[in-house]
Amino acid sequence: MELSKQFLRTNKPRLVEYLRVNSNLTLQGVHAKGILTDREYGALRDIADHDKLNQSIIDNVYDKGDKTCAKFLHMLKDDAEIQETVPQLGKLLSSWRETPGENVSHASGGGRGNVTGGISGACASDDASAKIPDKLDFFQKSLCRLNNGVTEINSILDYLGERKFSKESTALVNAQPTQQAQMRKIINLITTKKLAGHLFDALVKYQEDLMEELVEEYLNKNNDN
């Protein structure tokens, strides 16, 4: 059960209200912690209405999965300035319980939970990458789930663009009409081992929950063969 995600959904109206006086501070915090990407931060920082800003922050966090929700809630819990300004928030957060086994390392800016044979620890991307040497095979065998499950297309494109994914390729992806089609196009354009490694790392970074499932499924299927 995704307890952190459920807590965020259930208590969204109260969180929006409680964070009203600290909306800009909250935005700075989620950006500094890496919860929001530079692109997401840029899209939100011009929202003048505090309630709308808080709603957008929470929606962005919620869409990233349970572990990101836990990281966000830890940030609120650990921020002395926010807690001092809004004492009601501390009382609300005292009722939150993390998903068992989640192990979010909030003190160091976030961490990753465990997957059987999959993603674990602060060096999650490196660990998972070492266990799946053939990334192109992984993408092909996980194609349907990736097409339907990946939502952070812009963040992934930004990551790849910093690592020799051409502007022409990025334009081809952006020309696709749906997120599913965009993800399919990205995979079709990944033809080298080096780019495949970069895409794999981007997916671990921005689609952590989905990748935990896919890595575990892939490793289990390979072990059965």
The reply to whether 70 and 16 lie within a common domain is yes
Alpha helices (H) in the chain, listed in sequence order: 3-10, 12-18, 23-32, 38-44, 50-63, 66-78, 80-85, 87-93, 124-131, 135-141, 143-149, 153-161, 167-174, 179-189, 193-206, 208-224
Predicted pLDDT at 224? 66
Predicted pLDDT at 109? 40
Predicted pLDDT at 91? 86
User: Is 57 a domain residue?
Assistant: yes
Q: Are 96 and 66 in contact (CB under 8 A)?
A: no
Radius of gyration in angstroms for the set of CA atoms belonging to the chain, rounded to a whole number:
18
The reply to whether 32 and 75 lie within a common domain is yes
**Mean pLDDT (10-residue bins), the chain, 225 residues:** 87 92 88 87 91 94 89 88 81 83 46 38 57 91 90 90 91 92 94 92 87 88 72
Q: Are 89 and 73 in contact (CB under 8 A)?
A: no
Predicted pLDDT at 123? 40
User: Is 116 a domain residue?
Assistant: no
The reply to whether 99 and 9 lie within a common domain is yes
Which of 108, 141, 158 finishes a domain?
A: 108
Predicted pLDDT at 111? 37
The reply to whether 75 and 172 lie within a common domain is no
Q: 0.75 cut: is pTM over it?
A: no
CATH number of residue 183's parent domain: 1.10.533
Rounded distance between C-alpha atoms, residue 140 and residue 160, angstroms: 19
User: Is 119 a domain residue?
Assistant: no
Predicted pLDDT at 102? 56
User: Is 19 a domain residue?
Assistant: yes
Q: Residue 38 belongs to what domain range?
A: 3-108
Q: In the chain, how many domains are there?
A: 2
The reply to whether 98 and 142 lie within a common domain is no
User: Is 115 a domain residue?
Assistant: no
